[in-house]
Chain A
Amino acid sequence: MMRNLIPVLTVLIGIVAIWYLAVAPMNIRVSLDQAERAGLQVTPERAVERRDVSSWVLLANNFEHAGAGYSLDRPRLPTPQQVGQELWKTTGAMVMKGRTWSKRSLIYHGWITLRSTFWGFLLGTSIGIALSIAIVYSRVAEMSLMPWAIISQAVPIVALAPMIIVLSSQIGVDGRGFPKALISAYLCFFPVLVGMVKGLRSPQAEQLDLLKTYNATGFETFLKLRLPASVPFLFTSLKVGIAAALVGAIVGELPTGAISGLGARILIGDQFGNPLAIWSALFAAAILAGVLVTLLDRTQAVLLRQMGMRS
Chain B
Amino acid sequence: MTTPVISAKNLSLTFETNDGPVHALKDVNLDINKGDFVSFIGPSGCGKTTFLRCIADLEAPTGGSITVNGVSPTEARETRAYGYVFQHAGLYPWRTIGRNIRLPLEIMGNDKAEQDKRVAEVLELVDLVGFDKKFPWQLSGGMQQRASIARALAFSADILLMDEPFGALDEIVRDHLNEQLLQLWAKTEKTIGFVTHSIPEAVYLSTKIVVMSPRPGRISDVIDSPLPAERPLEIRDTPEFLEIAQRVRDGLRAGHSYD
Contacts and interface: CB of A to CB of B under 8 A. Distances in A.
B94 A206 contact: no
Interface string B64-90: 000000000000011010111011101
B80 A215 contact: yes
A114 B83 CA distance: 52
A213 B82 contact: yes
A213 B86 CA distance: 11
A212 B92 contact: no
Contacts of B94: 228-229, 231, 307-309
Nearest to A211: B107
Nearest to B94: A307
B128 to A, nearest CB: 16
A253 to B, nearest CB: 40
Contacts of A206: 86-88, 90
A131 B19 CA distance: 36
Contact of A214 (B86, B90, B92, B107): B107
B107 A216 contact: yes
Interface string B82-111: 111011101011111000000110111000
B58 interface: yes
A213 B136 CA distance: 21
Contacts of A224: 92, 103, 106-107
Contacts of A209: 58, 84, 86
B56 interface: yes
Nearest to B108: A214
A169 interface: no
Contacts of B87: 206
A271 interface: no
A12 B136 CA distance: 41
B60 to A, nearest CB: 12
B107 A308 contact: no
Interface string A187-225: 000000000000000001011011111111000100011
Given A206-B87, A220-B107, A308-B135, A213 B78 contact: no
A308 B96 contact: yes
Nearest to B82: A213
Contact of B90 (A207, A212, A307): A207
Given A206-B87, A220-B107, A224-B103, A212 B93 contact: no
B163 to A, nearest CB: 9
Given A214-B107, A220-B107, A207 B58 contact: no
Interface of B: 56-58, 77-78, 80, 82-84, 86-88, 90, 92-96, 103-104, 106-108, 135-137
Given A209-B58, A231-B94, A309-B135, 14 more contacts: A210-B86, A211-B107, A212-B58, A213-B77, A214-B104, A215-B107, A216-B107, A224-B92, A224-B103, A224-B107, A308-B94, A308-B95, A308-B136, A309-B94
